[in-house]
Amino acid sequence: MISQDHYDITIIGGGILGVSIAYFLSFMAQPSKKILLVEQEHDVAFHTSARNTGKVHAPFLYDPVKQTLFAKAAFIGFKMLKEYCNLKSLPFKQDRVLQVATYDKGIDRLHHYMKWGYSNGLQNNDLRFLDKREVNELEPHIKCLSAIYCLKDGSVDYGMITRELMEDAKQFGCKIITGTKLTKILVDTKNAHLILRTNKGEFFTRYLINTAGGGAMDIAHSIGLATEYTDLHFRGEYWQAPEEYRDLTKISIYSVPKYPEYPFLDPHWILRIDGRREIGPNAVPVFSPYAYNWSTNLRHFLPKIFESYTKPGARKLLFDRRFLSLASNELKSSLSKTAMINRAREFLPEIRPASFNKRGTAGIRSMLVDGHGKFIGDTMIIKDDYSLHVLNYNSPGATGALPLAAFIVDGLVGGGLKSSGSSASTIDEEDNYDNKKKSLWDIVTIADQMRGAS
């Protein structure tokens, strides 16, 4: 059982963002504040933080106006991840990526991507627009109309990075508890703290940071925040390519999505850091952020359907014919290997479904839906006097975890994200920067870059 200890700040969720926040908070606060991270699984990075492609995404895919936080975090995150991996001798490969258009409107989308990339900080030598002939010279097995060739893309193992950050956070004084699931939050306004009930007892905290990934929305709803939003979950599945296709391309290939307003990604050909080649993902609607198999999915069917029915945005999607049609196609790609592989044959025609015999690791994205039935494109940070919640934290979430964490921690230190009346729960200004010279990064500088300051 957990003793009824008091903590100054408690982080719920041991994914890469939660652990990155723990890393910066514990460094900045030592030794004056008690920091705790609580993870429901037996280890950190158990879900999306390790169930991903391992790509360090260049920010040409993100609208600088509608996806500001994602775009800035992805741009800054590349350098920070490279520095951290070099420091810790973790694998980091600056490889490249080809974003291909297989249909006419996709070419227009590529031009938008080029503009977005430059707006988000990429340089002329980072991006090249290629015609069909140039693509063929670069990757002879790829079939497309045109493409963007991005030289500033990378591959890592985010699970390894998260676990290394966890060890650093422990060294800085953060307490980390795994196998502990939050069950209820009570607000004690008289004593200005929260009572956190878990499967292993209860404890007190003056401030809560919710980075619970697929469970973050439920936590926010439990204390009356973001009630106008709901979340829908989508399982992304992969097939591992056999050895005969290992040298088919030199770099990863992404295809331009045909319906970018929905979370249905057109398939990719992924070169992973460990040498595996994979096709995916699809985006199969599921009823839980942990529905990696159909039995878990069915167990959550009725609760999620009931919850969705009570939210006007989710109800509208249920009557959106295009959404339902696309969702059915995703389900088909899950049930049929041939359907899944054939989607990638649009740009990689030499592959054959019969050659694929092993599934890759599936991951689940939880997407926010507003009251009008529209998917929210950027991550969302909401707060009250006792808590801060990071919602809709999807790709390029792992790429941008370090800069977003620095941004959040700097806000707690300097008041940038602090709600009025919550000063008792933040780090005092005089406590924070004494040991800054020992840090790999200047947190204030990173936070200013996230805010767009020069």
User: For residue 350, how many other CB atoms are within 10 A of its CB?
Assistant: 10
Its pTM surpasses 0.95 = no
Dump pLDDT digits (tens) for 374-406: 999 999 999 999 999 999 999 999 999 999 999
pLDDT at 413: 78
Q: Is residue 259 part of a domain?
A: no
Q: Give the closest residue to 313 by CA, choosing from 244, 370, 258.
A: 370
Q: Is residue 6 part of a domain?
A: yes
**What is the pLDDT confidence band of residue 1, given thresholds at 50, 70 and 90?**
very low
pLDDT at 371: 93
* Joined tokens for residue 383: 């707060």
Q: Is residue 248 part of a domain?
A: no
Give the C-alpha separation, 328 to 310, whole Å.
23
Q: Is residue 443 part of a domain?
A: yes
pLDDT at 439: 65
SS3 of residue 178 by DSSP: coil
Phi and psi at 206, nearest 5°, equal -85, -20
Give the C-alpha separation, 85 to 285, whole Å.
34
CA dihedral 116, 119, 121, 124 (to 10 degrees): 80
Give the C-alpha separation, 71 to 48, whole Å.
19
| Structural domain range at position 7 | 1-91+155-229+377-454
Dump pLDDT digits (tens) for 104-160: 999 999 999 999 999 999 999 999 999 999 999 999 999 999 999 999 999 999 999
Whether the link from the prior residue into 281 is cis, omega within 30° of 0, is: yes
Q: Is residue 255 part of a domain?
A: no
The CA–CA distances, whole Å, from 292 to 203, 287, 297 equal 31, 10, 7
Give the C-alpha separation, 88 to 164, whole Å.
8
Q: Mention every residue, 6+ apart, whose C-beta is less than 8 A from residue 140.
A: none
DSSP 19: H
Give the C-alpha separation, 402 to 405, whole Å.
5
Give the CATH number of the domain where residue 200 resides.
Answer: 3.50.50.60
* Joined tokens for residue 365: 């994205």
User: For residue 449, how many other CB atoms are within 10 A of its CB?
Assistant: 18
Type of residue numbered 52: N
Name beta bridge partners: 253: 98, 269
Q: State how beta strands 363-369 and 252-255 pair.
A: unpaired
382, with CB counted inside 10 A (0-12, 13-18, 19+), is middle
pLDDT of 426 higher than 80: no
Convert 106-148 into a string of H (helix), E (strand) and C (coil).
HHHHHHHHHHHHHHCCCCCCCEEEEEHHHHHHHCCCCCCCEEE
Exposure on the CB side of residue 149, measured as CA atoms within 13 A: 17
Q: Is residue 98 part of a domain?
A: no
Q: Give the closest residue to 115 by CA, choosing from 172, 157, 59.
A: 59
Q: Into how many domains does the chain fold? A: 1
* Joined tokens for residue 391: 């919602």
Q: Is residue 138 part of a domain?
A: no
* Torsion sign across C-alpha atoms 156, 162, 165, 167: negative
Q: What is the largest CA-CA distance in the chain?
A: 70
DSSP 277: E
Q: Is residue 303 part of a domain?
A: no
Range from 265-274, 313-322, 362-371, 445-454 carrying the lowest mean pLDDT: 445-454
